[in-house]
Amino acid sequence: MIKGVKICGVSDIKTLKYITNHSYPPQFIGFITNYKKSKRYVTFEKLKKFLNINRNGISFVSVLVNPDEEILEKIKIFKFDYYQLYDVDPKTTKLIKEKYKIKIISSLTINHKDDVDEYKRYEDIADIILFDGKGYEKSFGFDHNLLNNIPNSVKKMLAGNIQYNDALEKFSKIADIIDISGSLETNGKKDLSKINILLERVNKIINENKKKYTPN
């Protein structure tokens, strides 16, 4: 059942302020923290400004690709709510979680069923498991039916070429959180009108789910 949305790849203050001040803010905002090849990469100096604003109850997520100790030590001053980790094995994930006392989103890139089964190695460590398509800068879609048999006890975030104007309700049986980035952009930059449409749609879905599952 969809309970929220993550807007990823926010890299300018105008977009960030728009999202945090929105009537229906997302549950998560993601910042590309160490993957410098990304056009959405946020510098250390920008992060200083970004993380000082009023979060309005939103969880701020540092998106990290195989981070080394240097970057982890550098960003610990920012008080992120979550670290979203790509290409980090379970043992190292646990060490990062314990050392920095941080909630973890473990990211799995999916192409076939064997990739999905990797969640079993992380489910006792990660707070959320992200199922994403292959590729960092532009993730590709995958067969979402591969997630059908994952137990509800696993908190699932879903990404992978999801469009802001998709019928997001179709993901309700396989995801708790929808993660969107690229489809919210026009000419390579976040489009506030698309963000508004997404947030209004997700808010509607959440309210409908509350009515559906709230006892009379």
Q: Write the pLDDT tens digit of every residue in 122-156.
A: 999 999 999 998 765 555 678 888 999 999 999 99
Q: Express as a percent the part of the chain with pLDDT over 90.
A: 80
Q: Which of 37-41, 98-102, 144-148 has the highest mean pLDDT?
A: 98-102
Contact 101, 73 (CB under 8 A): no
Token pair listed for 48: 């200083």
pLDDT band at residue 209 under the 50/70/90 scheme: confident
Burial class (CB in 10 A: 0-12, 13-18, 19+), 115: middle
CATH number for the region 4-213 comes to: 3.20.20.70
Mean pLDDT of the chain, nearest integer: 92
- pTM comes to 0.94
Gyration radius (Cα) of the chain, Å: 16
Per-residue model confidence (pLDDT) at position 126: 98
Q: What gap in Å lies between CA 187 and CA 168, rounded to an integer?
A: 23
Instruction: Check residue 215 and give its pLDDT.
Output: 61
Of the two residues 88 and 143, the one the predictor is more confident about is 88
What pLDDT is recorded for position 185?
Answer: 95
Distances (CA, A) of 84 to 18, 93, 94, 104, 126: 23, 10, 13, 6, 10
Domain boundaries, given as residue ranges, for the chain: 4-213
Assign 160 a pLDDT band (cuts: 50, 70, 90): confident
pLDDT exceeds 60 at position 216: no
* Backbone φ, ψ for residue 148 (5° rounding): -60, -30
Whole-number Cα distances in Å, 164 to 40, 107, 202, 215:
18, 21, 10, 31
Residue 96: pLDDT band (50, 70, 90) is: very high
d(CA 82, CA 20) in angstroms, rounded, equals 17
